[in-house]
Structure 1
Amino acid sequence: MTSKTRAFHQVYRYWLLFLIVILSAGIFFRFVNLDRKVYWHDEAYTSLRISGYTKTEFVQKVFDGSVIDVDSILKYQRPNPEKGVIDTINSLAVDDTQHPPLYYVLIRLWVQLFGNSVATIRSLSAIISLLAFPCIYWLCLELFESPIIAWTSVILLAVSPLHVLYAQEARQFSLWIVTILLESAVMLRAIRLRSKQLWRIYGVTVALGLYTFLFSGLVAIAHGIYIITIERFRFTKTVKAYLTATSAAFIAFIPWIIVIINNLEQIDRTTASAQARLSISGLISAWITNISYLFADFWRYEPFFPDLDFPGLRWGRFLTPTIIILVIYSFLFVYRHTAPRVWLFIFTLSGVTALALILPDAIAGGKLSVRARYVMPCYIGIQLAIAYLLATQIISAKLIVQKFWQLIIVIVISTGFLSCAVSSQAETWWNKGSHANPQIARIINQTNNPLLISSNYSLNIGDLMSLSHLLNNQVKMQLVIEPTLPNIPDSFSNIFLFNPSKQFKSKLENKYQLVIVDKKGRLWHLHNKKI
C-alpha cells in the first residue's frame, strides 16, 4: 500500500467517525424536546383534522358565549368515537382543500395508536424525517455515483436547522421532503436501467407526493423538463415512460383534483394571508434569509430568549453573505465540473419550484415564495450542489485545497449544530406563529380564578386552539362570534381579553378599563370602571 493510499484510508476513517457523530447528533436533535416549542396555529389545525371536525362545527359548538373550560377546546383536537378517518378527510375537503389527505390520515391513525400528547403527535414527523437520510444517500449515488458525496449530503441534511425544525412539526413537510428525494432517486435509476418496473414505482411515488402536498406537481414538472432536455427533445422511450408514469399518477390524483375544483373559493379565502403584497426588496431579503436558515439560524435567538445576552451569537447574522456566496459558487462549480445529466438535474429541481413561486410573487404580489416550507425542492437542490462541492474538494489532490475545504465543512456543520442546539431550548422559533402564546399562558395561569374572553376575529380560532395546550385547567373561557358581545359573569377575579378587533375592543371599553399585559399587545386585562 502506497503512502498516498494509506493517507486516503486514514482520512476516510476520520471522515466515517465524523459522519457517525454528526448523524447521531442529527437524530438526537429531531427528538429532543419535541413538546417544548409552542404547538402553534397551523399544528392546532392539524389536531382539528385529527378530530374529524370541521372549523364550522368547532366554532358553532364552542363560540356560543357560554363559559367553558380548556378541555372543551382540547376535545376538538383529539380522536373521538363520533368521528372517523373519513371525517378527517372530509374536514380537509371542506376547510383545507389545498392540503391533500395522506399525512393527515397517517397522523390520525398514529394518534389513535399511541396517544394525543404534543410529543406523540410530532414524533411521527420526526420518525418520517429519518427516512430522508437513506433517500438522499440513494439519490446522490444515482446522481454522482460517489459514496463520499452521498455521505456528505447526509450529514448536511442531518444538522440542517431548516430540516430539523420541520422534522419536529406536526405538519406534512417532513413527509414531502421524503417523497421529493424518493421519486427523484427512483426516476434517475429508472432512466439508467430503462426498467418498466421502476417507472411504475416512480408513478406511485409521484402519486404519493401529490397526496402529500400540491407543490409536488412542480417536482414532477421539473423531472419532465430534465428528461426531455437530456433526451434532446426527442420522443424517446424514456420520455414516453415518464409521461405514462406521471399521467397515471395524476389520474390517481383526480379525486382530490375534483375536490379542489369544487372548493376554489374556500382555497382563496384560506390562503388570503399569503397573497399580501411584499416589496421586491422585502422578497429578496426573505429569500436570502431562508437560504441561510438551511445551514444556520442561531443568531435568531434574541426574540425567543429575551433574557439571554450573548453578543457572540448575534454576530452570526454576518454569516448570511458568506452562505449565499457559498451557494452561488457551488452551483457554478457543479456546472463546470459535472456532466449535463448531473448539473441539469440540480438546476431543474431547484429552479422550477423557485421560479414558479417567485415570479407570481414578484409580478402580481404575494409571499408564497418567502415561506420556506413551500420551497423545499429548491433547498434540496442547493444541498446537493454544496455536498458535491465540499466532498470533491476535501479529497482534492492539493493539500492546501483539502485543508481549506475541510475547514469550510467543519464551519458549515458546526453552525448547523449550534443552531439546532440553541433552537432546541427555545419555546418558539422563527418557523412558528403564535409566538406570544407561551407568555400569555404564563400570565393567565398565574392569576386567581381567571376568565379568558375572545372571538373568532382574524386568526383567533387557531391561536386559541394553540393556547389551550398551555393553559391550566382552572382557566375558563368565553368565546363569541363577532359582533356579538359576551355576557361576562361577575364571579371571576381576573378577566382577560385575547386579540380583540378594534370594534370588539371599543364596545367593551364602554364598561371596562382595558390594560395591555403582554409585550406583543395581544392580551388585555379588564377592570370595571368606577362609577
Structure 2
Amino acid sequence: MRTTSRERLFPRQLTTWLRVLIIVLLGLGIFFRFVNLEQKVYWHDEAYTGLRMSGYTKNEFVQQVFNGQVIGVESVRKYQYPNSEKGVIDTINSLAVEDAQHPPFYYVLVRLWVQIFGNSIAVTRSLSAIISLLAFPCIYWLCLELFQSPITGWMAVALLAVSPFHVLYAQEARQFSLWTVTILLTSATLLRAIRLGSKQLWVMYAITVALGLYTFLFSALVTLAHGIYVFVIQGFRFTKPVKAYLVAASAGFLAFLPWILVIINNLSQVKQTTSSAQERQSISALITGWTSNNSYLFGDFWRYEPFFPDLNIPGLRWGRYLVPLLLILVVFSFYFIYCRTEKKVWLFIFTLSAVPALTLILNDVILGGELSLRSRYNIPSYVGIQLAVAYLLASQIISHKVRQRRFWRLVLVAVISTGVLSCAVSSQAETWWSKGSHANPRIARIINSSIKPLFISSKYSLNIGDIMSLSHLLKPNVQMQLVTERTLAKIPDGFSDVFLYNPSKKFKSDLEKAFILDKVYKNGRLWRLKEKKISSINI
C-alpha cells in the first residue's frame, strides 16, 4: 500500500484538536529549549568548549594555572571565554593541536556569538538553542521530499519539539544541535536534487556535506548512507544522479581536506583523546544501552534517580516500564513504513538509520569500545527513527477504521505526554543523564558554605575539565591552589577550610603524611585537610 492522496491533502481535513496540539507542542518545544538555560551544570565537555572558544590550549592552561600559586576563581574562568589575548585563529589552532576530532565550525560560531552577546552560560548555550529551532523547518522539508505528506511533516515537527533528547542537546554548549540541523538539511537537499536534477541543488548538497563534516566527523557516515541509498535506488547503475552524487560528495570532502590533513598530522593525539571511548563492553551492556538510548528520544523522566537521590518525585519510577513499549513502537514503525511506502521512501530511512548505527556497533563489538553507547553519536539513526514513527502516527490517526484510529490517537497522546513530562522534569534539574560532572553542584555548595575556603586540586584524571566546570559554580571568595602533583607549595594560613578535590591515591597518601584528611563528599571526590604537623610537603 502506498501513500494516498488522503494523506497528502490532510491539512485541509486537519481537525481542530490536532491543529491546536501541534501549535501547543511547538510552543512548548521552544519554551523548553530556552527555559533555565543556566540551571544545569556547565559540565566537563562544555568547559572544554569554553577553553577552545577562548583560544587557549590545555597545555597553556595547565602551565599558567597549575603552578602551585594561590589564585582566585576568576583566574580560571579567564580561560573559558574570548579575550583580547587570543583570536579566532587561536580557537582553530587549539582544536587542531589538541582536539582535532572536533572540527572548528561550531567553535568559531560560538566564539563570535559570545563576543557579541556576552560571556554568561545562558548566552553561550543560547546559540545551540537558537540553532535547534532551524531543525523544525528542516525536518518538515525533509518529510515533504520523502513522503509528499504535510501531515507527516507536522507530526515529525511535533515529535522533535518535545523530544527530551533534542531538548537536552539544544541546551548544551556543544555542536550536536548544529549537527542535527546539517543532517536534516543535507538529507532534504539530496532528495530534492535527485528529484529535480538541478545543478544548483547538487552544489547546495556539496556545501551541506562540507558544513556537516566541519561540524562533526561522523557526518561522513551520513554521506556514506546517502551514497548507498543513491546507488541502490538507481539499480547499481552509473546513472546521472549517481554521477552527480559522486561529484557533489567528492567536492564536499575536498573542501574538508585541510582538516583531514590536520587529523592525520595529529593522529596520535586523537587516539589518546578518544581513549575513554575504547573500553570494551559486554554484549549485554551494549544491548541494554542501545535500548535505553533509543527511548530517550521520546521520554527520560525516569532517569533522575542515579543523579538526584534527594529528588523525591513519587510515581516517576514506573516510567522505566515504558522503555520496552517504546522499543516496540520503533520496531513496528520500521515494519509499517516498509509495508506501506515505496522503496525510495523506506530505503532512505533504513540506510540513514542503519549505516551510521551499524558502523559504531560493529566497531564496539569487534574492536571493543562504547562509541555506540554515546547517544549523541547516533543522531543520524535517531532522525531516521523519528521519521518512521512520525509516518506511522500521522497515517494511523486518520485511519478509516474507528477502533484503529482511536487506538493510535491514544498512542500519540501517550508519546507526546511522555516527552512533555520528561522535558518538564529535566528543566528543573541541575544535572541529567546527558551530563557529566554530576557531583560538582553539591561539591560547590559544600565549598561555598565555608567563610574563607582554599580549594586544592591537581590535573589527575578528568580534573582539568571538572575544575573549569567548578569555576562557574564557586563563589568569588574561593581561592584555588592547583598543582601538577609533583610539588605542593606551602599551604598559606588564614583560610577557614582547606578542601582537596579528587586526588590520586599517591597524592592523597603523600598529603596524609602532613595532614588529616576528612572525607566530606562520597567516593573521595572532596576532602577537608586538617594540619597535624608542618604545612608543607614535597612530593
- 2:382 — aligned with what? 379
Contact 2:30 2:133 in 1 (8 A): yes
Answering whether residue 412 of structure 2 is matched by residue 409 of structure 1, we say: yes
Give the 5 Å matches for 1:108-119.
Answer: 108-119=111-122
Contact 2:117 2:123 in 1 (8 A): yes
**Alpha-carbon displacement from aligned partner over 1:5-32 (angstroms, at most 9, x marks no partner):** xx99675222111100000000000000
Letter in 2 for 1:181: L
- 1:505 — aligned with what? 508
- 1:364 — aligned with what? 367
Give the 5 Å matches for 1:48-197.
Answer: 48-197=51-200
Match of 2:524, SS state, is: coil
- 1:270 — aligned with what? 273
Contact 1:41 1:463 in 2 (8 A): yes
Task: Structure 1 unaligned segments of length 5 or more: list them.
Answer: 1-6
Normalized against structure 1, the TM-score is what?
0.97
Letter in 2 for 1:101: P
Distance (Å, rounded) in 2 between the aligned partners of 1:507 and 1:368: 37
- 2:291 — aligned with what? 288
Distance (Å, rounded) in 1 between the aligned partners of 2:501 and 2:489: 13
Distance (Å, rounded) in 1 between the aligned partners of 2:367 and 2:137: 39
Give the 5 Å matches for 1:183-262.
Answer: 183-262=186-265
Match of 1:279 among 274, 278, 282: 282
Contact 2:163 2:298 in 1 (8 A): yes
Letter in 2 for 1:63: F
- Residue 513 of structure 1, CA deviation: 1.1
- 1:521 — aligned with what? 524
Contact 1:353 1:375 in 2 (8 A): yes
Aligned-residue sequence identity (percent) comes to 70
Contact 2:292 2:323 in 1 (8 A): yes
Distance (Å, rounded) in 1 between the aligned partners of 2:309 and 2:485: 34
**Alpha-carbon displacement from aligned partner over 1:111-148 (angstroms, at most 9, x marks no partner):** 00000000000000000000000000000000000000
Distance (Å, rounded) in 1 between the aligned partners of 2:474 and 2:161: 34
Distance (Å, rounded) in 2 between the aligned partners of 1:344 and 1:89: 38
Match of 2:49 among 36, 43, 46: 46
Contact 2:40 2:431 in 1 (8 A): yes
Distance (Å, rounded) in 1 between the aligned partners of 2:361 and 2:479: 45
Greater shift in the superposed pair: 145-154 or 483-492: 483-492
- The 1:489/1:8 distance shift into structure 2, 3 A limit, reads closer
Match of 1:527, SS state, is: strand
- Residue 493 of structure 1, CA deviation: 1.7
- Residue 34 of structure 1, CA deviation: 0.2
Match of 2:457, SS state, is: strand
Distance (Å, rounded) in 2 between the aligned partners of 1:111 and 1:20: 31
Distance (Å, rounded) in 1 between the aligned partners of 2:312 and 2:186: 45
Contact 1:514 1:524 in 2 (8 A): yes
Distance (Å, rounded) in 2 between the aligned partners of 1:83 and 1:63: 20
- 1:3 — aligned with what? none
Match of 1:517, SS state, is: strand
Match of 1:480 among 477, 480, 483: 483
Letter in 2 for 1:131: L
Letter in 1 for 2:238: F
- The 1:469/1:9 distance shift into structure 2, 3 A limit, reads same
Distance (Å, rounded) in 1 between the aligned partners of 2:235 and 2:271: 39
Distance (Å, rounded) in 2 between the aligned partners of 1:55 and 1:8: 54
Match of 2:416, SS state, is: helix
**Alpha-carbon displacement from aligned partner over 1:346-376 (angstroms, at most 9, x marks no partner):** 0000000001100010111100110000010
- 1:440 — aligned with what? 443
Letter in 1 for 2:427: S
Task: Structure 2 unaligned segments of length 5 or more: list them.
Answer: 1-9, 535-539
Match of 2:521, SS state, is: coil
- Residue 480 of structure 1, CA deviation: 0.6
Distance (Å, rounded) in 1 between the aligned partners of 2:487 and 2:361: 41
**Alpha-carbon displacement from aligned partner over 1:76-114 (angstroms, at most 9, x marks no partner):** 111111110000000000111000000000000000000
Normalized against structure 2, the TM-score is what?
0.96
Equivalent residue pairs, number: 525
- Residue 307 of structure 1, CA deviation: 2.8
- Residue 395 of structure 1, CA deviation: 0.5
- 1:311 — aligned with what? 314
Give the 4+ runs in structure 1 shifted more than 3 A. 7-11
**Alpha-carbon displacement from aligned partner over 1:45-98 (angstroms, at most 9, x marks no partner):** 111111100000000000000000000000111111111000000000011100
Distance (Å, rounded) in 1 between the aligned partners of 2:491 and 2:281: 41
Distance (Å, rounded) in 2 between the aligned partners of 1:9 and 1:210: 40
- Residue 508 of structure 1, CA deviation: 0.3
Letter in 1 for 2:329: L
Match of 2:330, SS state, is: helix
Distance (Å, rounded) in 1 between the aligned partners of 2:173 and 2:508: 33
Match of 2:37, SS state, is: coil
Contact 1:304 1:426 in 2 (8 A): no
- The 1:472/1:320 distance shift into structure 2, 3 A limit, reads same
Distance (Å, rounded) in 1 between the aligned partners of 2:377 and 2:518: 39
Match of 2:391 among 388, 392, 398: 388
Distance (Å, rounded) in 2 between the aligned partners of 1:521 and 1:408: 46
- 1:335 — aligned with what? 338
- 2:422 — aligned with what? 419
Distance (Å, rounded) in 2 between the aligned partners of 1:529 and 1:411: 61
Letter in 1 for 2:51: L
Match of 1:83, SS state, is: coil
